[in-house]
């Protein structure tokens, strides 16, 4: 499950500059200590449980915490004007996943096809953005951090779940999935099987398709959907398993992300716990 991130209309992927200095408005780096990881878990709880109504036992602290967190690298986006954590995601790499009992996505999909992929793989998950900062600039900054991690460690594939809300009973989700089947499906040998497929929708499909920003970002980068969606009843959403072959990165976006990411590599390395 990943958050359904709503971006402001007309937002661009360029990172906005601060009005008061020459520093970039947003900084991306890995969490440096347990307190910063805890802060990201609190942000996740506010988005998942507070906004989306997910059934999460956050305890008195109000945190979203699971068995995968100790084995993940937690990527943060901070507002440089006030130091506020505004977005986060986590990366679980192929060498750490066995310690966590596998990848998070393995609880939703049969991931047997991953074993046949050549090279290194990493999972992106638990992505969320503070409600006051849902702009293209924040999303772009987050992806620059991911790209820097890819460059540093030589990953060949990135994957993760992009979510579609089911508040309308599934009409929008099925319309989006129909569009995905026509344009963005992976080859047959890269398919995964959902353990609980999304049920058929009652009535007609939504006429206007509005792809969630995280899913839109995946397809814009060149990622493919690896089959039918998983029905996440806990979060009331449909999860689409997305796979990005780094060599297939859309050239239009590759230059943008990777050039900026080159400047982020040193920062990420310095802040990587």
Measured between alpha carbons, how far is 23 from 131 in angstroms, rounded to an integer? 23
Arithmetic mean of pLDDT, 2-19: 38
Whether 144 maps to a domain, the answer reads yes
Residue range 204-245, pLDDT digits in tens: 776 778 888 788 888 888 899 999 999 999 888 899 999 999
Alpha-carbon Rg of the chain, whole angstroms? 18
Provide the CB-side half-sphere exposure for 75 (13 A, CA).
30
- CA distances to 56, 235, 237 from 167, in Å: 18, 10, 8
Phi and psi (nearest 5°) for 140?
A: -60, -40
What is the span of the domain harbouring residue 227?
26-271
Alpha-carbon span 33 to 27, nearest angstrom: 17
Residue 6 lies in a domain: no
* Domain CATH number, residue 61: 3.40.630.30
Distance CA 160, CA 177 (A): 16
Instruction: Give the tens place of pLDDT for each residue, 162-199.
Output: 999 888 888 899 999 999 999 999 999 999 999 999 99
**How many structural domains does the chain have?**
1
Specify the pairing of strand 157-165 against strand 237-245: antiparallel
What is this structure's pTM? 0.83
């Amino acid at each position: 499950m990943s958050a359904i991130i709503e971006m402001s209309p007309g937002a661009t992927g360029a990172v906005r500059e601060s009005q008061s200095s020459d520093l970039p408005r947003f900084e991306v780096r890995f969490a440096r200590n347990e307190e910063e990881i805890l802060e990201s878990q609190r942000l996740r709880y506010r988005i998942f449980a507070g906004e989306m109504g997910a059934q999460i036992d956050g305890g008195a602290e109000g945190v979203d915490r699971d068995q995968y967190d100790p084995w993940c690298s937690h990527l943060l986006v901070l507002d440089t004007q006030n130091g506020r954590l505004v977005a986060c995601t986590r990366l679980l790499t192929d060498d750490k996943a066995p310690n966590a009992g596998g990848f998070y996505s393995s609880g939703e999909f049969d991931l047997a096809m991953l074993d046949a992929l050549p090279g290194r793989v990493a999972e992106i998950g638990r992505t969320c953005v503070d409600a006051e900062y849902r702009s293209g600039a924040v999303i772009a900054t987050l992806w620059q951090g991911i790209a820097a991690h890819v460059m540093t460690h030589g990953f060949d594939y990135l994957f993760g779940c992009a979510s579609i809300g089911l508040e309308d009973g599934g009409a929008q989700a099925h319309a989006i999935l129909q569009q995905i089947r026509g344009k963005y499906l992976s080859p047959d040998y890269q398919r995964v099987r959902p353990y609980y497929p999304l049920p058929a929708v009652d009535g007609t499909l939504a006429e206007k398709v509005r792809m969630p920003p995280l899913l839109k970002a995946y397809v814009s980068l060149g990622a493919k959907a690896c089959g039918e969606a998983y029905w996440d009843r806990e979060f009331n959403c449909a999860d689409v398993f997305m796979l990005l072959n780094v060599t297939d990165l859309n050239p239009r976006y590759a230059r943008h992300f990777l050039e900026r990411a080159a400047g982020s590599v040193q920062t990420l390395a310095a802040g990587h716990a």
